[in-house]
Amino acid sequence: MTRASSTKSTPTSQTAQPSPVSMTEPEVAVPSKPDTVPAPKPKRVRTGCLTCRERHLKCDEGLPNCQNCKRSNRKCKRGVRLNFIDIQCQRPPYLLPPTHDWKVTFQDDSREIASEYLGGFERYHAPEPEPKRQKLNAPSLKYNYGQIAAPIIPHQQLPRHQQPYPNSYAESTEALYQNSTGQPYNETAAAALASFSEAAHGVKPSYGQSVLVPPEQGQSSPPLDDRTEILYMQIFVEEVGLWMDSMDADKHFSRLIPFQALRQPMLKYALLACGIRHLTLVNPVYPEEHALDYYNKATQLLLKSLQNPDRDSVLCATAATILNVYEVMSEKALQRMNHIAGARALIKECRWDATATGIGAACFWLNVGLELFSCLHFNWGVAWDPDTWGLDMTMTPQQVGGNEEQWTHKILWILSKITNFRSTAQARFQDANVHAEQMRIHQRQQQWLGLKQFCDRWDKCVPPTMHAMGYVPAYGASAKSSFPEVWYIKRTTIVARLFYNTAMALLGMMHPLASIQPQTEEEMREMRVYHSRQICGIVAHVKDRGVASASIRCLAVAGENLTVRREQEEVLQIFDRIKQETGWRVTFIHDDLKEKWGWNEGLPDYNALSSTSTYYSPTGSSAPSAAPTSTPPRPKYPVGIVNPLYKNADFSAQNPPYQGNYVPPTPGPGLHTSTHMYGYSGLSNL
């Protein structure tokens, strides 16, 4: 075989090796199909890389890096990128949120349109006539309060409704309504009121709109221009509103409602009445008649509004709450409780409870706080069951500060439960046998332990900002005080701590087994004395006048547990200081404490000349005529009952408040389940 032939027959990858039989035949190249043949690719690249797309190259879609990126040593970027041809760089349109006074009304014009066609009007039913209401004779409005249950407490008759005062709010005569038993319409009185309303305002007010809706932007109510009214309003804001807002984070009564009073005469007169009432308590130079005059004006406007079914229930409830505060500040509070049940009933009408916010929460907590103070004094049960307040009592340890008002509400709830527990301490089974008495004691012990756990849990879980900022024991405190110096920063924290120590002191007085177990009795004595001294230490060194008013009842509970004469005398000094700063009449508390301490039983002659007599004297003199034995005995009220002042505080009760003047409101925007009620939703802008 030649070299050429051997070279020619060498197999390659392109030809098949011939068999020995066919070596003499000419060689024919037979192509063979490789095992891996790439599938044909589509013309358009679907999953190419973004790098090739930016370079306007066709990508081979290789993974993880395509060939173009490998050759050019570029980063093969992957992802999805969409092209939008029409791009607008403008803010998209949006709908403005509805304002507080935004309303939707539907007007049916179908009858009017159908009447233009032949026989069209006859297809509709005859419209039902609106019920007509008789109008009141304005000078004949009277107020008739119902009698409350035991104890029978005399009421002071509200003033007869007279012609409007020169500065009073003139309402439209269409707003005066009366039920079917009312008096006939008086044309003369209506004409006089209509002329006065048009002359004073030019436009008659409509009850269809909220009387608490703030004016349009750019319009502001004129400020007070009377120097006397400015003084009274300043006193309310700086003195009375302080303790009214002690549990309100937004300070509605001292910061927000005064601005609403510039537009609402009912609120204005109520605030002025409280302001001048405080002045008359502190300085007798100011006559009490001025306060009573403003009180009567506010009451007349409130009674007139209650007869209008389209009234603003929020305004009425707020005004009644402020008038209730005026009555509490009066000399004889129990003889002037015309609005105490009415304020509670109006609060329930607005469906305000512990879940309320805004002005609803402010009125609710102030109202239940005032009831709690009266129940602590008379040993009554709270009429509004705390279990129905709707308060979330979940307590978890707090690591940061804040929400002090919510924790104040929780301890107020606990103190109310303890007050109800104390009011039932005297209950006994009529057939008092040994087994029944043991069951009763066991049941009360379980209740006592549950209340004690509530207090301990609250003290453990409160925020760090509700703990004492400073504490100096009694032996290291000022030589003028027998109590430790306890310093808390925030006002609501001080009130909460007063409630907590009062609750613990009351629990120390009510252990069911203390009378039969000497060791338990000694532990309870130490417990109530310790917390009583804490209360006295807080009040003795506090500088906030807004706390002094709320601390009176807590200090009275603490004073009952003190046995050291020096501490007892200092408690009386603290009460005198509170009386001088706030004007509260606390002389009856002096009498109660001295009776519990046994000071009135066979006092030696040297006690008449002691420093305590000087502290007790309202005028600061030590004359023997100021001895407590000369004070006539006060009437005793039954204990262990549900608070009779609030027992019928509901318009659905048998003897409801505001009888003869109350008309149920029309269901509509005047009643709200949410508690940023209309009219007050704009207060945050003030």
DSSP per position, 502-562: HHHHHHHH--TTTTT-HHHHHHHHHHHHHHHHHHHHHHHH---HHHHHHTHHHHHHHHHT-
Q: What gap in Å lies between CA 531 and CA 51, rounded to an integer?
A: 77
pLDDT in tens, 226-276: 999 999 999 999 999 989 999 999 999 999 999 999 999 999 999 999 999
pLDDT of 622 reads 32
The proportion of the chain whose per-residue pLDDT surpasses 90, expressed as a percent, equals 42
Cα atoms found within 13 Å of the Cα of residue 126, Cβ hemisphere only: 3
Neighbours of 374 (CB within 10 A): 19
CATH topology of domain 48-77: CD2-Gal4 (4.10.240)
Domain residue ranges of the chain, discontinuous segments joined by +: 48-77, 106-383+661-686
Q: What gap in Å lies between CA 158 and CA 323, rounded to an integer?
A: 12
Helix extents (H) in 403-483: 404-423, 434-461
- Residue 62: what are its φ and ψ, rounded to 5°? -75, 150
pLDDT of 87 reads 63
What is the band of 41 on the pLDDT scale with cuts at 50, 70, 90?
low
Higher pLDDT, 493 or 42: 493
Sequence-ordered list of residues with C-beta below 8 angstroms from that of 633, at least 6 positions apart, any chain = none
pLDDT of 118 reads 84
The answer to whether residue 89 scores a pLDDT higher than 90 is no
Tokens 């109520």 -> residue = 270
The answer to whether residue 564 scores a pLDDT higher than 80 is yes
Average pLDDT over residues 643-652: 85
pLDDT of 678 reads 39
The partner residues of 486 in beta bridges, in order of sequence, read 471
Tokens 């007007």 -> residue = 107
Which tokens belong to 681?
């939703």
Average pLDDT over residues 39-65: 83
What is the band of 636 on the pLDDT scale with cuts at 50, 70, 90?
low
Which of left, alpha, beta for 184 (phi over 0: left; psi -120 to 50: alpha)? beta
Segment among 89-98, 299-308, 499-508 with least mean pLDDT: 89-98
The answer to whether residue 411 scores a pLDDT higher than 80 is yes
Higher pLDDT, 622 or 46: 46
Tokens 């935004």 -> residue = 102
The answer to whether residue 4 scores a pLDDT higher than 50 is no
What is the band of 119 on the pLDDT scale with cuts at 50, 70, 90?
confident
Helix extents (H) in 98-149: 110-114
Cα atoms found within 13 Å of the Cα of residue 498, Cβ hemisphere only: 28
Which tokens belong to 579?
């009386």
The partner residues of 472 in beta bridges, in order of sequence, read 485
The partner residues of 143 in beta bridges, in order of sequence, read none
Which tokens belong to 314?
């929020």
Sequence-ordered list of residues with C-beta below 8 angstroms from that of 409, at least 6 positions apart, any chain = 247, 354, 365, 391
Average pLDDT over residues 439-460: 94
Q: Rounded to two decimals, what is the model's pTM?
A: 0.65
Closest CA to 276 of 296, 262, 249, 248: 296
Sequence-ordered list of residues with C-beta below 8 angstroms from that of 481, at least 6 positions apart, any chain = 474, 537, 540, 541, 570
Most confident of 96-105, 156-165, 254-263, 432-441: 254-263
Write out the DSSP string of 596-649.
Answer: HHTTTSS--HHHHTSHHHHHH-TTS---GGG-GGGSPPPPP---SSB-TTSTT-
pLDDT in tens, 466-490: 999 999 888 876 668 889 999 999 9
Determine the length of the chain.
686
pLDDT of 57 reads 92
Average pLDDT over the chain reads 76
What is the band of 97 on the pLDDT scale with cuts at 50, 70, 90?
confident
pLDDT of 621 reads 32
Segment among 119-133, 408-422, 594-608, 625-639 with least mean pLDDT: 625-639
Please measure the distance between the N-terminal and C-terminal CA atoms of the chain and give it in whole angstroms.
117
The answer to whether the beta carbons of residues 185 and 224 sit under 8 Å apart is no
Q: Which DSSP letter does residue 216 get?
A: P
pLDDT of 218 reads 43
Average pLDDT over residues 26-50: 64
Average pLDDT over residues 10-38: 50
Cα atoms found within 13 Å of the Cα of residue 593, Cβ hemisphere only: 28
pLDDT of 265 reads 94
In a 3-state reduction of DSSP, which class is residue 366? helix
Higher pLDDT, 191 or 128: 128
C-alpha 634: how far from its chain's center?
A: 35
The answer to whether the beta carbons of residues 558 and 535 sit under 8 Å apart is yes
What is the band of 611 on the pLDDT scale with cuts at 50, 70, 90?
very low
The answer to whether the beta carbons of residues 344 and 384 sit under 8 Å apart is yes
The answer to whether the beta carbons of residues 319 and 266 sit under 8 Å apart is yes
Closest CA to 427 of 637, 646, 639, 635: 639
Average pLDDT over residues 453-462: 96
Higher pLDDT, 207 or 551: 551
Determine the residue type at 288.
E
Closest CA to 158 of 289, 319, 336, 325: 336
In a 3-state reduction of DSSP, which class is residue 483? coil
Question: Burial letters for 217-242: b for 16+ Cβ neighbours within 10 Å, e otherwise?
Answer: eeeeeeebeeeebebbbebbbebbbb
- Residue 344: what are its φ and ψ, rounded to 5°? -65, -40
The answer to whether residue 25 scores a pLDDT higher than 60 is no
3-state SS track over 643-681:
CCCCCCCCCCCCCCCCCCCCCCCCCCCCCCCCCCCCCCC
Q: Which DSSP letter does residue 472 get?
A: E
The answer to whether the beta carbons of residues 493 and 466 sit under 8 Å apart is yes
pLDDT of 583 reads 79
pLDDT of 320 reads 95
Most confident of 306-310, 590-594, 666-670: 306-310
pLDDT of 478 reads 67
In a 3-state reduction of DSSP, which class is residue 355? coil
* Bond from prior residue into 64 cis (ω within 30 degrees of 0): yes
Segment among 376-380, 562-566, 634-638 with least mean pLDDT: 634-638
Average pLDDT over residues 31-53: 70
Sequence-ordered list of residues with C-beta below 8 angstroms from that of 629, at least 6 positions apart, any chain = 600
pLDDT of 253 reads 95
* Bond from prior residue into 151 cis (ω within 30 degrees of 0): yes
What is the band of 350 on the pLDDT scale with cuts at 50, 70, 90?
very high
Segment among 93-97, 162-166, 531-535 with least mean pLDDT: 162-166
The answer to whether residue 529 scores a pLDDT higher than 60 is yes
pLDDT in tens, 269-315: 999 999 999 999 888 888 888 999 999 999 999 999 999 999 999 99
What is the band of 430 on the pLDDT scale with cuts at 50, 70, 90?
low
Higher pLDDT, 432 or 67: 67
- Residue 21: what are its φ and ψ, rounded to 5°? -70, -35
Higher pLDDT, 295 or 614: 295
